[in-house]
Amino acid sequence: MKIPPFKLEEFWKKHEFTAPYLLCCSDAETWTLQQLLALADFDSLKLWDSLSLGYTESPGHPLLREEISRLYTSLDSEQILTFAGAEEGIYCAMRVLIEPGDHVIAIDPCYQSLVTLAETFGAKITAIQLKAENQWKLDLEEVRRAFQTKTKILILNYPHNPTGTVLEGKVLEELVELARKNRAYIFCDEVYRYLEVDESLRMPSIADAYEKGISLNVMTKSFGLAGLRIGWLATRDADFLREVGSYKLYTSICNSAPSEILAIIALRAKEKLLMRNRDILLQNLRILDAFMKRHPNYLSWVRPQSGTMAVLKLLLTISVEAFAEDLVRTEGVLIMPGSVFDLSGNFFRIGFGKKNMPEILKRFESYLQSRTSPDFAI
């Protein structure tokens, strides 16, 4: 079994700690240890102060699983399984679910491993391509036509990475009915849940909406705690959860003990964490609105409805790859070309979840303004 290169993570490996100005971060503003501990309640702080650095329970600390279950409307702690980040959850889930010859429907673009691992483990993939000209909206009829007798999983990715679109409630209901009719799982990457621009558009978690729904989430994105490396799967499917829990024993076995307690602290203070992170992204989105209005000859976009990222289209005659390379070389500003996540066309990704985004955007704007013609060359 040979897994192809992970383009997005290879991109980060090359640039994340060398480029001075990251304009394409995917996570919300992070927290320092001191800031997080300041939010701890009495019982959580006692857990931290008395922490023993031994092995932890493989499914996750019971209190951590209990706090995670509170994020759902119909699940309890026994229906939660934690992992060392979201990526381990994806790997273990696909290893358990996929058998050679299975058919998988996936919304594209998405986080690469969702599709690459399923294909590597023997599945045939039908990709449903979101299109900018359709406002990045999902074509329900295209999904309906994609179902086959061997369809095992429908892979969703909402709130969507990287376009920031959300699913309408009626569309989600139709997808659940399609999956139920075909006895298929729905695996939904929900890592940007809680960062909807309009909170009334928040869709139900798939684990709550469907008996064969599997929800993936993590402390990284909406909560701004990437360094904890705490992710989880939530589902009402007890057989799947038991199998994937056994497979975890071949990977990390258990989580980091300090990370589990810090995640408990964060989840008990989740309203404060999410409020701050939403305030930052909403303020930055207003700045982006004005920026996009100033540069209609250079850039276009579909304004994101959720998350910390937006997809912009470069309207210049040069390739976005050459543009991005020159930008990071001359200004130290990093954007992510669409080719990194297999999006064809002159698209690129920016992030707006960080406090320093306005400062970096000014550098990007200065670079744009130094190019006075839409057909300049590098």
* Residue 226: pLDDT over 60: yes
CA dist 86 and 91 (Å) reads: 9
Position 370 confidence tier, pLDDT thresholds 50, 70, 90: confident
CA dist 218 and 268 (Å) reads: 15
For the stretch 104-114, pLDDT in tens is: 999 999 999 99
Question: Residue 173: beta bridge partners?
Answer: none
Closest by CA to 156, choosing from 103, 107, 218, is 107
For the stretch 117-136, pLDDT in tens is: 999 999 999 999 999 999 99
* Residue 11: pLDDT over 90: yes
Question: Residue 349: beta bridge partners?
Answer: 311, 336
Give the architecture (CATH level 2) of 7-31+272-369: Alpha-Beta Complex (3.90)
Position 2 confidence tier, pLDDT thresholds 50, 70, 90: confident
pLDDT at residue 153, as a whole number? 98
For the stretch 30-60, pLDDT in tens is: 999 999 999 999 999 999 999 999 999 999 9
pLDDT at residue 373, as a whole number? 54
CATH 3.30.1490.20 applies to domain 33-269: no
Q: Where in the chain is the domain with CATH 3.40.640.10?
A: 33-269
In terms of Cβ atoms closer than 10 Å to its own Cβ (0-12, 13-18, 19+), residue 74 is middle
pLDDT at residue 122, as a whole number? 97
Average pLDDT (263-269) is 98
For the stretch 209-221, pLDDT in tens is: 999 999 999 999 9
For the stretch 166-175, pLDDT in tens is: 999 999 999 9
Tokens, residue 63: 């209190």
pTM (predicted TM-score): 0.95
Structure letter (DSSP) for residue 306: B
* Residue 377: pLDDT over 90: no
pLDDT at residue 369, as a whole number? 87
| CB-CB contact of 353 with 28 (8 Å) | yes
Position 372 confidence tier, pLDDT thresholds 50, 70, 90: low
Q: Where in the chain is the domain with CATH 3.90.1150.10?
A: 7-31+272-369
